[in-house]
A and B are shown apart, each in its own frame.
Chain A
Amino acid sequence: MQEFDLEAEGLRALNSALHAQNNDTNQTAWEILNPKGSHAIAVGLDAPIDVTVKGSTGYYCGGMNQQANIHVAGSVGPGVAENMMSGTVVIDGDASQYAGATGHGGTLVIKGNASSRCGISMKGIDIIVHGNVGHMSAFMAQSGNLVVCGDAGDALGDSIYEARLFVRGSVKSLGADCIEKEMRPEHLAILADLLDRGGVDADPSEFKRYGSARKLYNFNIDNAY
């Protein structure tokens, strides 16, 4: 176990040390102490390592993660796991705005609630939220899955493309071009796997599925009158 005191050694030293790890590293377990809400903790990682942050973080924790498994024993500020490519990020507490924004892959698990714009512009990431999500979540969501075990706020899935949204609780309102869709057996299977990966003990049949009506997919550009 590599122990790193962020307060004492600083952010640059931390990320440099984590960036120095590669696929063959034998330093596979890292513990970060005294995060104290610092921004950009463990960003741009690209190695199969386990990183535990002992406390809450500021903005963009785990941003652009590849391969690493990051566990935050606390809550996170805006943009956790933004643009994640692969690996996992698990948050014990709550997440602020834009959790998992533009993520291309990997799995983000938020055991508390997520604020507004969770999964905005997501591009393949899987996000599992044990609690609720705020307004405008999955805005312009392109692909991947967003699972909300609690309730969703206003304008869920506004201008959504091909992402799948699963919500167990209420949805305050759906955004433009987002509709409820039939939950077919293949969706139940996908959801069961997501719940399992997210550590959620819930029955997939309790969820509703939402996605794109695909009515905004093509703008009428026939201006050549």
Chain B
Amino acid sequence: MTQNKTDGPPRTVPIQSATFSGSVNAEIRRAAATGIYDIRGGGAKRKLPHFDDLLFLGASMSRYPLEGYREKCETSVTLGTRYAAKPIELDIPITIAGMSFGALSGPAKEALGRGATLAGTSTTTGDGGMTVEERGHSNKLVYQYLPSRYGMNPNDLRKADAIEIVVGQGAKPGGGGMLLGQKISDRVAEMRNLPKGIDQRSACRHPDWTGPDDLEIKILELREITNWQVPIYIKVGGARPYFDTTLAIKAGADVVVLDGMQGGTAATQDVFIEHVGQPILACIREAVRALQDLGMHREVQLIVSGGVRTGADVAKCMALGADAVAIGTAALIALGDNDPRWEDEYQKLGTTAGAYDDWHEGQDPAGITTQDPDLMARFDPIEGGRRLNNYLKVMTLEAQTIARACGKNHLHNLEPEDLCAITMEAAAMARIPLAGTDWYPGKPGTSY
């Protein structure tokens, strides 16, 4: 193996640096050539401790399972029971995360509404305001209240089934966003009250409040405007989940939405996505601890997001103490994003199916993350809605299958005891015993 083909003394084979890998070097060369940092969409792509590092134990001698197909296993969830006169009742605990009209096309937003409605769950607006097609096709629509306040108006606010105050998101806690000029069509520009074709910055902090004490008053204002009818969520990125959750509860949230660093964004700096924030696995138990410390677990509901892909992921989130999950990237994939059927066109864009993340450039071959009329025409919102509904149903069935195997007649009855961890990192982050032991790093009463 180490023998050189030519005559002479043996030589070592070339060894690539693990630190300066091919992709790292390519990025250095790209930066050196352009002088600009890389912007992309999506969430963290690096390998992180995740739900795959947890396993369910299932029933055995000490646990009694439910029949896998016949016995009832409930999936419903009620969100916003703390203050709202009209909490949101969902058939399944899988919601659609906020994604803006502007980042997504109108038909894509319509498809999210259609799919969510068929599945009995909610969808969420995003930066840029509420579109007619989204409201019209969404039985339960959560209206995001963002720092930019693009498209924000009291009429739409009163049409919402819930209001989600976005403090941060997992892909970029502490950061704002940018919808680049290529995607600013006449309609997007009009909704955001800015000229067509210019980049539209989404601010990193709200314009009229600066901390949790102010936020408490802001929530009072929003409740007064909407006559205390609808739940108010607070969404935070996975930064300091114990304190963020504590302060969100203090500020008066009905629901806390917690988004880990695998959660997607339409566009931000790659360095931000990959180097700021925490994986969702590390956040859930801390948020639940905050809820429990304040006696608010299950009274203030917890929605978690960031890399939820399967019914197993859903079940693990529930077992760790969440009330529901939200999906964004997975929903886009269900609609047809990054589908290999468009491989030729991905190649022309210098990428490949599964890796395409330049959503901000508006050239999405699948017609989902674009405002280009020709590309948008490729996407059928009815078919997209059907696909999303199918996917949500499969996730739900998967989660039910696992819950029944653990002897649970409601997904909410899943608990940490049902889990084990297969890595030390996951055990430490999720406070779940390492497989084959009753121990996890940092467990109270243990020496290390």
Contacts and interface: CB of A to CB of B under 8 A. Distances in A.
Contacts of B154: 44, 46, 64, 66, 83, 85
Contact of B225 (A43, A162, A217): A43
A222 B33 CA distance: 11
Interface string B182-202: 000000000011110111010
A142 B217 contact: no
Nearest to B193: A123
A224 B209 CA distance: 38
Interface stretch (B42-50, B145-153, B236-244): B145-153
Interface stretch (A9-17, A149-157, A193-201): A9-17
A117 B214 CA distance: 15
A223 interface: yes
Contact of B220 (A39, A124, A217): A39
Contacts of A101: 207-208
Interface string B357-393: 0101100000000000000000000000000000000
A36 interface: no
Interface string B140-163: 000000001100111001000000
A60 interface: yes
A220 interface: yes
A142 B194 contact: yes
A225 B29 CA distance: 9
A212 B208 CA distance: 22
A223 B199 contact: no
B225 A79 contact: no
A43 B38 contact: no
A15 B224 contact: yes
A136 to B, nearest CB: 10
A221 B180 contact: yes
A19 B155 CA distance: 13
A46 B217 CA distance: 21
Contacts of A83: 149, 152-154
A85 B153 contact: yes
Contacts of B149: 83, 102, 121, 123
Interface in B194-230: 194-195, 197-199, 201, 203, 207-209, 214, 217-218, 220-221, 224-228
B178 interface: yes
A140 B34 contact: no
B174 to A, nearest CB: 18
Nearest to A15: B224
Nearest to A103: B149
Interface string A42-53: 011010000000
A58 interface: yes
Interface in B306-355: 350
B247 interface: no
A120 interface: yes
B33 A39 contact: no
For the complex, would chain A's binding face be called helix, strand, loop or mixed by DSSP majority?
loop
Interface string A32-71: 0000000110011010000000000011100110100000
Interface residues of B, number: 42
Contacts of A219: 178, 180, 199
Given A66-B154, A142-B194, A218-B181, A11 B224 contact: yes
Interface in A153-176: 159, 161-162
Contact of B360 (A19, A40, A218, A221): A221
A64 B225 contact: yes
Given A98-B208, A120-B207, A40 B178 contact: no
A136 B239 CA distance: 28
Contacts of A161: 194-195, 198
A143 interface: yes
A204 interface: no
Given A43-B224, A60-B218, A223-B34, A102 B199 contact: no
Contacts of B192: 142
A12 B229 CA distance: 12
B178 A39 contact: no
Contacts of B218: 59-60, 79
B208 A120 contact: yes
Given A59-B217, A222-B36, A117 B180 contact: no
B203 A140 contact: yes
Contacts of B180: 218-219, 221
Nearest to A65: B154
Given A78-B208, A217-B198, A218-B181, A104 B221 contact: no
A39 B217 contact: yes
B275 interface: no
Contacts of B57: none
A82 interface: yes
Contacts of B214: 59, 78
Given A140-B203, A162-B194, A63 B225 contact: yes
Contacts of B227: 15-16, 19
Interface in A176-223: 217-223
A219 B195 CA distance: 15
Nearest to A78: B208
A123 B33 CA distance: 38
B222 to A, nearest CB: 9
B221 A63 contact: yes
Given A19-B227, A39-B220, A224-B350, A64 B208 contact: no
A16 B36 CA distance: 53
Nearest to A59: B217
A117 B197 CA distance: 27
Nearest to B145: A83
B424 interface: no
Top 4 nearest A-B pairs by Cβ distance?
A: A44-B225, A98-B208, A102-B149, A217-B198
14 contacts: A15-B227, A16-B227, A40-B221, A44-B154, A44-B226, A63-B221, A66-B154, A79-B221, A102-B149, A102-B207, A121-B148, A161-B195, A222-B36, A225-B30
Interface of A: 11-12, 15-16, 19, 39-40, 43-44, 46, 58-60, 63-64, 66, 78-79, 82-83, 85, 97-98, 101-102, 104, 117, 120-121, 123-124, 139-140, 142-143, 159, 161-162, 217-225
